[in-house]
A and B are shown apart, each in its own frame.
Chain A
Amino acid sequence: MAYNEKVLDHYENPRNVGSMDKGDATVGTGMVGAPACGDVMRLQIQVGESGIIEDAKFKTYGCGSAIASSSLLTEWVKGKTIEEAAQIKNTDIADELALPPVKVHCSVLAEDAIKAAVSDYKSKQGDSE
């Protein structure tokens, strides 16, 4: 099986790899997947006052498509509001990366990751208000 060029590009030059302080109230963390299933994604977003995502970081354990899906996602969410980011669909990611059917679950995981990160951020805001 040959890999799609965009998948390869993200895999080889993953964007926005890293970690943020989980305890920071302006950071939302989403960790989804399970080691037993062969993929775990951790997506973190840094949200500014106006609700705009100023920075995003990820780390992923998984196949090349999982790494590419999360890397792409970090590029897409930056500059979006948290509401807009939560609207990102797995099909957008799958289309952009031309994922084959057996890899669609990687894009589903990425969608779950951003939703989880947004909801973590919101719950932190809720707590502090």
Chain B
Amino acid sequence: MSRPIYMDYAATTPADPRVSKKMSEYLDIDGIYGNAASRSHIYGWQAEEAIEAARKQVAELVNCDPREVVLTSGATESDNLAIKGVAHFYEKKGKHIVTSKIEHKAVLDSCRQLEREGYEVSYLEPDSNGVISPDAVKAAIRDDTTLVSLMHVNNEIGAINDIAAIGEITREKGVLFHVDGAQSAGKIDIDLDTLKVDLMSFSAHKMYGPKGMGVLYVQRKPRVRLEAQMHGGGHERGMRSGTLATHQIVGMGEAFRIAKEDFDADHAHISALRKRLWDGFSDMEAVTVNGDYDHSVPGILNISFAYVEGESLMMAFKNIAVSSGSACTSASLEPSYVLRAIGLSDEMAHSSIRFSIGRFTKEAEIDQIIAEVRYAVNKLREISPLWDMYKDGIDLDSVEWAAH
């Protein structure tokens, strides 16, 4: 069966073939399958060597010391470790955390857990483009604040936060700064040597590496301390126990290496494709970009096709795999909290589609998508009572809807 065109790179990416090939060399009896913690034989030494090489590849992309790379199972774990680990360790200093309303659930739910434990959390409002203003961060920091946690790039709309400016503020105020970089690594230049970021989460599967693998960057100078969330054999300098998954780690290392090597080519390719995609829609009536097209990562294009509902659109896209801001399938009828927080009405959020483009997307696929989307939107508008009303000049906000 031929599968639909993959346009969901922000959800996950396929592994680069160079990555999967490398990984396969670290699994079976002919490969390097030893436990890196085995100090007494070559199996262990080889695994350790491979892991240290991968750690270095990770460090090189984001310009940090390999000893600052703590290996985890993904950005979810990294976010949990950073937020709960710091909050618990610095509990004596205070129990207040600053984050935003449009963070990933891994951050929001870690904060919720801290609230249950008696911490206080301030959730900053983004502007209409999904950006958190450094001034708002400054104003939210209190004497008892220990951590500010914000995402570098938002996963739904691609908005970019000014982490350099925010880092200046947190450093000056003596507060730790954690950044969720799951959507930014390999897409935006990250220089941890100059950025005043203390902790940063990364995920391998958002950048052509394997799923179930990630990193928490933990700065050494000034030194950041945290309380482990996973206890055991004391791996990763006690911050994260568990036998290191050699094949996953070398796969991630390779993915980071390629991300650095192909950085300019990826950026140019993806930017051109996004422009082509938007050019294919921009002449349509009542179609808007959510977020700021010019200040977002090129891989994400979030669009609302007014008067048609996102889930029915996705159903019409037989040859396109995308995601929608309409959460109609979940038990709640609430649309995306990110789109709501940047000020979209519920109906515009229900009408949104996130296209995310990646390294393996082809120009011909973009053209096919444009044709298919235009056809589907027109077809669904023909059966939409809201489109009729819009065409008749009725202001939908003035209608009294029977809420249900």
Binding between chains A and B = yes
Q: Does B308 contact A (CB under 8 A)?
A: yes
User: Which of A35, A67, A102 makes the CB contact (< 8 A) with B312?
Assistant: A67
Closest partner residue, chain A, to B327 (CB atom)? A38
Beta-carbon contact of B330 and A35 below 8 Å? no
Proximity string of chain A (27-71) to chain B, C-beta cutoff 8 Å, 1 when within and 0 when not: 000011111111111100000000000000011111110110000
Residues of B within 8 A of A14 (CB): 383
User: Which of B315, B326, B396 makes the CB contact (< 8 A) with A38?
Assistant: B326
Q: Does B29 contact A (CB under 8 A)?
A: no
Beta-carbon contact of B404 and A105 below 8 Å? yes
Beta-carbon contact of A38 and B401 below 8 Å? no
Beta-carbon contact of A112 and B386 below 8 Å? no
CB proximity of B115 to chain A, nearest CB, Å: 28
Beta-carbon contact of A67 and B383 below 8 Å? yes
Beta-carbon contact of B383 and A64 below 8 Å? no
Closest partner residue, chain A, to B382 (CB atom)? A17
Proximity string of chain A (1-18) to chain B, C-beta cutoff 8 Å, 1 when within and 0 when not: 101000000010010010
Beta-carbon contact of A34 and B404 below 8 Å? yes
Beta-carbon contact of B383 and A1 below 8 Å? no
Residues of A within 8 A of B329 (CB): 1, 63, 102
Instruction: Knowing A36-B346, A63-B315, A64-B315 are in contact, say whether A102-B388 is a contact too (CB < 8 A).
Output: no
Beta-carbon contact of A62 and B388 below 8 Å? no
Closest partner residue, chain B, to A100 (CB atom)? B329
CB proximity of A28 to chain B, nearest CB, Å: 15
Of residues 250 through 267 on chain B, the ones whose CB sits less than 8 Å from some CB of chain A are none
CB proximity of B334 to chain A, nearest CB, Å: 9
CB proximity of B322 to chain A, nearest CB, Å: 15
Beta-carbon contact of B401 and A34 below 8 Å? yes
Q: Does B1 contact A (CB under 8 A)?
A: no
Proximity string of chain B (342-355) to chain A, C-beta cutoff 8 Å, 1 when within and 0 when not: 00011100100000
Beta-carbon contact of A32 and B312 below 8 Å? no
Residues of B within 8 A of A37 (CB): 333, 346, 403-404
Instruction: Knowing A11-B315, A32-B404, A33-B404 are in contact, say whether A63-B309 is a contact too (CB < 8 A).
Output: yes
Most buried by B among A32, A63, A67, A112: A63
Residues of A within 8 A of B386 (CB): 35, 40, 61
Beta-carbon contact of A42 and B312 below 8 Å? no
Beta-carbon contact of B350 and A38 below 8 Å? yes
Residues of A within 8 A of B387 (CB): 61
Q: Does B282 contact A (CB under 8 A)?
A: no
Instruction: Knowing A38-B350, A61-B307, A63-B309 are in contact, say whether A17-B383 is a contact too (CB < 8 A).
Output: yes
Q: Does B79 contact A (CB under 8 A)?
A: no
Q: Does B38 contact A (CB under 8 A)?
A: no
Instruction: Knowing A62-B312, A63-B311, A63-B312 are in contact, say whether A38-B333 is a contact too (CB < 8 A).
Output: yes
Beta-carbon contact of B345 and A36 below 8 Å? yes
Closest partner residue, chain A, to B347 (CB atom)? A35
Beta-carbon contact of A38 and B402 below 8 Å? no
CA distance A58 to B383 in the complex (A): 8
CA distance A39 to B351 in the complex (A): 11
- 18 A-B residue pairs with Cβ-Cβ distance under 8 Å, sorted by A, are A17-B383, A34-B402, A34-B404, A35-B346, A35-B401, A36-B350, A38-B326, A38-B350, A39-B309, A59-B384, A59-B388, A60-B384, A60-B385, A62-B312, A66-B312, A67-B383, A102-B330, A108-B404
Measuring CB to CB, which residues of chain B are less than 8 angstroms from any residue of chain A?
307-309, 311-312, 315, 326, 328-331, 333, 335, 345-347, 350, 382-388, 396, 401-404
